[in-house]
Structure 1
Amino acid sequence: MSSSGENSSSAAVPEWEMRFRAPRVSLPEWAEGAPERSLFVSNATGTYELYAWDRASGAQRQVTDRANGTTDGMLSPDGESIWWFDDSDGDEFGVWMRQPFAGGEDVVAVEGLEASYPAGLALGADGTVAVGRSTDEEGSTVHVVRKGEGAPRELYRHRESAGVGGLSHDASLLAVEHTEHGDAMHSSLRVLRVADGSVVAELDDTRDGTEELGLEALGFAPVDGDSRLLVGHQRRGRWEPMIWDPVTGVETELAIDLPGDVSADWYPDGRALIIGHSFEARGELWRYEIEGGVLERVQTPPGSVSGATARPDGSVEYMWSSAAEPPVVRSTGGGVVLDPPGAKAPRSVPVETVWVDGPGGRVHALVQRPEGHTAGNGGPLPTIFEVHGGPTWHDSDSFVAGPAAWVDHGFAVVRVNYRGSTGYGRAWTDALKHRVGLIELEDIAAVREWAVSSGLADPERIVLSGGSWGGYLTLLGLGVQPDAWALGLAAVPVADYVSAYEDEMEALKAMDRTLLGGTPEEVPERFAASSPLTYVDAVKAPVYISAGVNDPRCPIRQIDNYVDRLRERGAVHEVYRYDAGHGSLVVEERIKQVRLEIDFVRRHLG
């Protein structure tokens, strides 16, 4: 691979563009009552859409076809229908639609429910449906429709954020994840009887009113008459699973002695769990026998496992990739499960792990260098800090086309799992409360200092870049650390925190109240301290901003406010607005955005 990113066989098509265009597929979801019927997402047409797959015949069919793409979908347990969420141009506000698996007319899936933001969906084997909704006016609601009942019945309502956690296999019980206590980062669980909405049990890990520990519903046991619910908890300072029976009240802790975060899902017989283990930015799989507590490794290559499902025959299908190798759906039964036709994505370079002492503890960073460059060989490089979104997310040893494009262009790429990131324990994830943005930037600054002192990065050519929360940290960093960064590239960012709060979807307002300790009226000083707009007059570096005009998460008005201030100052900046929501599902649009970023860097960095 050449440093310019050109393919040796076709100089007109850069390898970085080929990575975006290469056909990809998601991990297929399969129908419990019809395991040969599956649903997956693919970009085969150039836009990410839903596809039906009949494994018995091998036939595949495109289900959705919308200008801005579709990724939210679910297969009914009997395999007869496909549910998909229909919004307007990426604004995430809409209704669930339904289409027969074999093809046919799309119809509104649940009559009588107005458009809303989605807050979970559960489909029962007997035809019962639970729909979670969120609107600015109503807050959070959960409605249930049972076969033969007709109109949807409201089972839950609250102003704070909440959503569907799952239906029991016989559809008699409904789990609701809620944050009625006001902490949107840490949910509690309530199990209701579907028949009448009465409360069966509550699970709340609030500790004496002084500490909130999160809970999440991972799914009821896939067996009729079995009321066990698989639950993720944080009681020992990390995410790990346990089994809770809300009917009997019995909680069963699981003896899973693995470092880092642990998630789980059921095997189809309900006797074992498929364990997803994430530690220090890499992932692996295990099988856990519930009776006897036996833990057995499921062999996967080194890298990241981004999803796994156990099939009725006992095999496990999983999505795997590494920073160097493109994603592929594999099976423990052998071979590739779903291999899309067309050119394969060119590989990239491996990632190396770096640990840096930061003000809040050791910070984990992932580094990629152009081929041929090693520590102490080749001199300091132009370097881009690609900051992940979330903030409750983390960068991993997985294949990402964006960073690979910068490596192709001769850049070192550094990705930092700052405080607020998942995968390093609850204390690390929760550390950014009240000093939002500023804490993350302290960790990024520590890694920047290492990058310069180690000889990796040219201090005059370091770019700060990111999307969503990463875009927010980019704009905040350009103002708070104006001498540290040569350029800034911010995609779909928070730019004016107060205006963003006023315009964003209700669930994100709840998250902001949790992070900052109140509303802009209640804690104005915290919103000001964490808002990029506060520091815009200190920005020295040229700034590139891209934004979706229909974005409900980082709305366009607050970005315009920031851009107006840049313009008033005569600051060097460029803005690209496109017709979508929080990012784009159209491949050529995404390539266009990266191309514009590369061009901006070439012109202003050299």
Structure 2
Amino acid sequence: MIARIFLMSLMGLLMACSEQSDHEASKAIEAVGDEVIADALPFGSWPSIITAASLVEGSRGIGGLTKDGEYFYWLESRPEQGGRTTIMRWQPGSEPEEILDEGFNVRTRVQEYGGGSLLVHGGVLWFSNFSDQRLYRLRAGEAAVPITPETDLRYAGCSFDRQRERLLCIREDHRGMGEPVNALVALSPHEETEGTVLFSRTDFVSAPRLSPDGKHIAFVSWMHPNMPWDSTTLHSASFDEAGMLTDLRIHNPKSDESVIDPQWRDDNTLIALSDRDNWWKPYRVDGSDFTAIDTGLEHVEIGGPAWTIGGRYYWFLPDGSMVFVAREGSVETLMHLDKDGKTRELPMGAVSFGSVVYDDGQLYFTAGFADKPAALLSASLKGSVNNVIRRSSDTALDVAWVPQYEQVAFPLPTGGEAYGVYFAPKNPNAEAIPGTAPPLIVSVHGGPTSVAGVSYRPEHYYWTSRGFAVLDLNYRGSTGFGREYRRALYGQWGISDVEDAAAGATWLAEQGLADADRLIIRGGSAGGYTTLAVHAFYDAFAAGASYYGVSDIEALAEDTHKFESRYLDQLVGPYPERKDLYVERSPIHHLDGFKAPLLLLQGLDDPIVPPNQSEMIYDALKSSGVPTAYLAFEGESHGFRKAENQIAAREAELYFYARVLGLNPADELPEILIDNLD
């Protein structure tokens, strides 16, 4: 599945001739007419057309596709509008149009990560507005009207109950003094109300789905300390005359599995995804019997970690067949399982998929590609794309600037292997100095259950076009390699992920694909923690950048939001019973290990990893003499959404690496203050 020996031609290029130092290299690029003549240039100094501003200019996120009547609707996030998310609609033969006033931002904060913030039915839209977290009703061309009160309530994952003329939603109640209360509630679609509670017996409830005949509902729940990818319970119920739940059933009462994405077929058969045999895949559910649906595929994930509300991985078609997304490592494929039980790939040429809608013989969906921006497309069931409705960017790089990805596996010093995606330096206007190797950036994803994707990644090409290599790390704990690999991080956070990061960087250096003296690590959230922990416990890296990373996991255990408030019980150990482990693995308590320069970036409105996490480690490193810099961004939460802040952060990284590693980038960069740098 994953290549272990690869890119031999690149190794030949990097190691071919006699070594030369950076200061001996020519830096000139001479333009002659339309032809560019490239001299050999040091890695890290290559002039690039990919600027930090170009990464966000004209860019947009596309998701949440749905169809109602003659129109398709979707959500579109826009960094250039402060990260605002708006509502778009389109019908064949027309151009996409925005139907939401600029004063609204469609985003719910249920579980802080949101999801399921838009519902469309009968030409009416209901959406969650970010600033006040109220649900609003909207008809195109009319003013949006709130239908929930102005109080500390949040809503997500709504569906329309036709038989009872109401909305069924997940509500998160923050009005009490303790933890917020999550519940399944019924709401009037027209009048202002906070909702009637239908179910609230568990710490979390999610994914409510009505059966086609409207007589039944299915949903999942889970309890602390579990996360939805650990152990969830699948429920179904009927409704009494008053619309309350009756005949409530628990389908997996002894759950030690992650059951997600329950759906009903047209014949009212309940289907759900479970990872009970190590890989998420679909099951037909009848009482407590789970019968696997044979897809003919092995060692693939049909499913993923439910960080947000309402995610889907499969869709039923009118003829009884099913379309689903299968993930193998970092690559997704769209598959069709026909009613005769035969599975085939739909060859779209894409590497990631989402938001599938079937209509009149066509599939409409979002797709990510390896060499061009993601897009909203339509295609036939044979897999031929026939229309590009909307792209995620107004511009696309010439493929000459886009390096090919390579999935890699590398050995671990304690046995076994970990995974990643390698991107080699690529710039059509620059050549490497023979005998030299590039600086390597190890990029560590968050979660830590996320996965390094292989779709079009301009944020990586920003680096590769300047002569950096990138390893997008799939350390133990990542999704796409089965439940056992995902759980391999349990009890080992701060140990296994750190070992994997150091091992991957060292291995690439041994292959001649990275400069052993210029290894860099960067990451956000959980990836930021790994970045800090590597600096505390290893000497493998020469520099790093932590985006809203965790420096004191004990403080995080005492000061974070409900959804992840017990996650550390799994990753580290029960708190406070294993307080010793929290101290042992917190970078803030191991300042003697920090030697390499470190950049810290933090949103000041982050409720998940509060600003004090970055501030504590910054103050400590500054006092202990380690070169460090701290950039704080007003109005940013967990992840930077505003274009100006994304640009500032990217340029600050390049400036920081250049100063501390002695690189000479061709860019004119804003200076940042780096403490303790001679």
Question: How far, CA to CA, are the matches of 1:96 and 1:360 in structure 2?
Answer: 51
Out of 159, 165, 189, the position equivalent to 2:234 is: 189
Out of 203, 214, 218, the position equivalent to 2:251 is: 203
1:192–1:534 CA distance, 2 compared to 1 (3 A): farther
Counterpart in the other structure of 1:216? 260
**What one-letter code is carried by the residue in structure 2 that aligns with 1:130?**
C
Counterpart in the other structure of 2:610? 555
**What one-letter code is carried by the residue in structure 2 that aligns with 1:141?**
A
Question: Is 2:638 the counterpart of 1:601?
Answer: no
1:532-563 deviation per Cα after TM superposition (whole angstroms, max 9, x unaligned): 22223321111111111111111112322222
Out of 108, 118, 125, the position equivalent to 1:82 is: 125
Question: How far, CA to CA, are the matches of 2:223 and 2:408 in structure 1?
Answer: 40
Counterpart in the other structure of 2:471? 414
Offset at 1:171? 4.3
1:527–1:227 CA distance, 2 compared to 1 (3 A): farther
**Stretch of structure 1 that moved more, 485-494 or 584-593:** 584-593
SS of the equivalent of 2:517 reads: strand
Question: How far, CA to CA, are the matches of 2:28 and 2:362 in structure 1?
Answer: 42
Offset at 1:478? 0.7
Counterpart in the other structure of 1:288? 337
Question: How far, CA to CA, are the matches of 2:611 and 2:444 in structure 1?
Answer: 21
1:255–1:114 CA distance, 2 compared to 1 (3 A): same
Question: How far, CA to CA, are the matches of 1:4 and 1:245 in structure 2?
Answer: 70
Question: Is 2:348 the counterpart of 1:300?
Answer: yes
SS of the equivalent of 1:261 reads: coil
RMSD, aligned α-carbons: 3.3
1:445–1:198 CA distance, 2 compared to 1 (3 A): same
**What one-letter code is carried by the residue in structure 1 that aligns with 2:405?**
V
Are the counterparts in 1 of residues 212 and 264 from structure 2 also a CA contact under 8 Å? yes
1:270–1:533 CA distance, 2 compared to 1 (3 A): farther
**What one-letter code is carried by the residue in structure 2 that aligns with 1:379?**
T
Counterpart in the other structure of 1:145? 187
1:131–1:183 CA distance, 2 compared to 1 (3 A): closer
Are the counterparts in 1 of residues 494 and 530 from structure 2 also a CA contact under 8 Å? yes
1:417–1:12 CA distance, 2 compared to 1 (3 A): closer
Counterpart in the other structure of 1:29? 65
**What one-letter code is carried by the residue in structure 1 that aligns with 2:300?**
G
**Stretch of structure 1 that moved more, 156-165 or 323-332:** 156-165
Task: State how 1:523-538 maps to structure 2 within 5 Å.
Answer: 523-538=578-593
Are the counterparts in 2 of residues 36 and 54 from structure 1 also a CA contact under 8 Å? yes
Counterpart in the other structure of 1:228? 269
Offset at 1:341? 7.9
Are the counterparts in 2 of residues 69 and 585 from structure 1 also a CA contact under 8 Å? no
Question: Is 2:283 the counterpart of 1:242?
Answer: yes
Out of 152, 176, 185, the position equivalent to 1:114 is: 152
Question: Is 2:486 the counterpart of 1:429?
Answer: yes
Question: How far, CA to CA, are the matches of 2:286 and 2:30 in structure 1?
Answer: 57
Question: Is 2:302 the counterpart of 1:262?
Answer: yes
**Stretch of structure 1 that moved more, 576-585 or 347-356:** 347-356
Out of 287, 305, 322, the position equivalent to 1:273 is: 322
Question: Is 2:112 the counterpart of 1:60?
Answer: no
Question: How far, CA to CA, are the matches of 1:386 and 1:436 in structure 2?
Answer: 17
SS of the equivalent of 2:463 reads: helix
SS of the equivalent of 1:458 reads: coil
Question: How far, CA to CA, are the matches of 2:609 and 2:598 in structure 1?
Answer: 17
The alignment-based identity, stated in percent, is 22
Question: Is 2:375 the counterpart of 1:328?
Answer: yes
Are the counterparts in 2 of residues 364 and 417 from structure 1 also a CA contact under 8 Å? yes
Question: Is 2:405 the counterpart of 1:351?
Answer: yes
Offset at 1:12? 10
Offset at 1:245? 4.7
Offset at 1:239? 0.8
Task: State how 1:533-544 maps to structure 2 within 5 Å.
Answer: 533-544=588-599
Offset at 1:518? 1.7
The runs of 5 or more residues in structure 2 that have no matched partner are 1-26, 36-46, 109-114, 304-312, 381-385, 663-678
**Stretch of structure 1 that moved more, 431-440 or 265-274:** 265-274
Name which one, 1 or 2, has greater alpha-carbon Rg: 2
**What one-letter code is carried by the residue in structure 1 that aligns with 2:417?**
R
1:150-179 deviation per Cα after TM superposition (whole angstroms, max 9, x unaligned): 661112224633334333345443333222
Out of 133, 142, 165, the position equivalent to 1:104 is: 142
**What one-letter code is carried by the residue in structure 2 that aligns with 1:191?**
S
**What one-letter code is carried by the residue in structure 2 that aligns with 1:430?**
R
Are the counterparts in 1 of residues 438 and 514 from structure 2 also a CA contact under 8 Å? yes
Question: How far, CA to CA, are the matches of 1:310 and 1:85 in structure 2?
Answer: 22
Offset at 1:378? 4.9
Counterpart in the other structure of 1:91? none
1:230-269 deviation per Cα after TM superposition (whole angstroms, max 9, x unaligned): 31101221111113256xx664421112131124422342
Are the counterparts in 1 of residues 442 and 521 from structure 2 also a CA contact under 8 Å? yes
Question: How far, CA to CA, are the matches of 2:247 and 2:551 in structure 1?
Answer: 42
Are the counterparts in 1 of residues 373 and 392 from structure 2 also a CA contact under 8 Å? no
Question: Is 2:545 the counterpart of 1:502?
Answer: no
Are the counterparts in 2 of residues 130 and 144 from structure 1 also a CA contact under 8 Å? yes
Question: How far, CA to CA, are the matches of 2:480 and 2:433 in structure 1?
Answer: 31
1:537–1:127 CA distance, 2 compared to 1 (3 A): same
Counterpart in the other structure of 2:76? 41
**Stretch of structure 1 that moved more, 235-244 or 315-324:** 315-324
1:470–1:340 CA distance, 2 compared to 1 (3 A): closer
SS of the equivalent of 2:462 reads: helix
Question: How far, CA to CA, are the matches of 1:567 and 1:111 in structure 2?
Answer: 47
Are the counterparts in 1 of residues 440 and 505 from structure 2 also a CA contact under 8 Å? no
Offset at 1:300? 1.6
**What one-letter code is carried by the residue in structure 2 that aligns with 1:565?**
A
**What one-letter code is carried by the residue in structure 2 that aligns with 1:391?**
P
1:447–1:375 CA distance, 2 compared to 1 (3 A): farther
1:50-78 deviation per Cα after TM superposition (whole angstroms, max 9, x unaligned): 22213154350152536988585644342
**Stretch of structure 1 that moved more, 576-585 or 212-221:** 212-221
Question: How far, CA to CA, are the matches of 1:175 and 1:261 in structure 2?
Answer: 22
1:321–1:506 CA distance, 2 compared to 1 (3 A): same
Counterpart in the other structure of 1:361? 416
Scaled by the length of structure 2, what TM-score is found? 0.79
Are the counterparts in 2 of residues 462 and 485 from structure 1 also a CA contact under 8 Å? yes
Task: State how 1:434-453 maps to structure 2 within 5 Å.
Answer: 434-453=491-510
Counterpart in the other structure of 1:314? 361
1:395-444 deviation per Cα after TM superposition (whole angstroms, max 9, x unaligned): 12112232111112210101121110000011000111112121111122
The structure with higher relative contact order (CA 8 Å, sep 6+) is 2
**What one-letter code is carried by the residue in structure 1 that aligns with 2:98?**
R
1:120–1:436 CA distance, 2 compared to 1 (3 A): farther
Are the counterparts in 1 of residues 601 and 614 from structure 2 also a CA contact under 8 Å? no
1:5–1:410 CA distance, 2 compared to 1 (3 A): farther
1:22–1:307 CA distance, 2 compared to 1 (3 A): same
Are the counterparts in 2 of residues 97 and 106 from structure 1 also a CA contact under 8 Å? no
Scaled by the length of structure 1, what TM-score is found? 0.87
Offset at 1:597? 0.9
Question: Is 2:544 the counterpart of 1:488?
Answer: yes
1:191–1:146 CA distance, 2 compared to 1 (3 A): farther
Counterpart in the other structure of 2:675? none
Question: How far, CA to CA, are the matches of 1:5 and 1:594 in structure 2?
Answer: 24
Question: Is 2:623 the counterpart of 1:587?
Answer: no
**What one-letter code is carried by the residue in structure 1 that aligns with 2:424?**
R
1:367-407 deviation per Cα after TM superposition (whole angstroms, max 9, x unaligned): 11112799996521111101111111111211223211111
**Stretch of structure 1 that moved more, 177-186 or 544-553:** 177-186
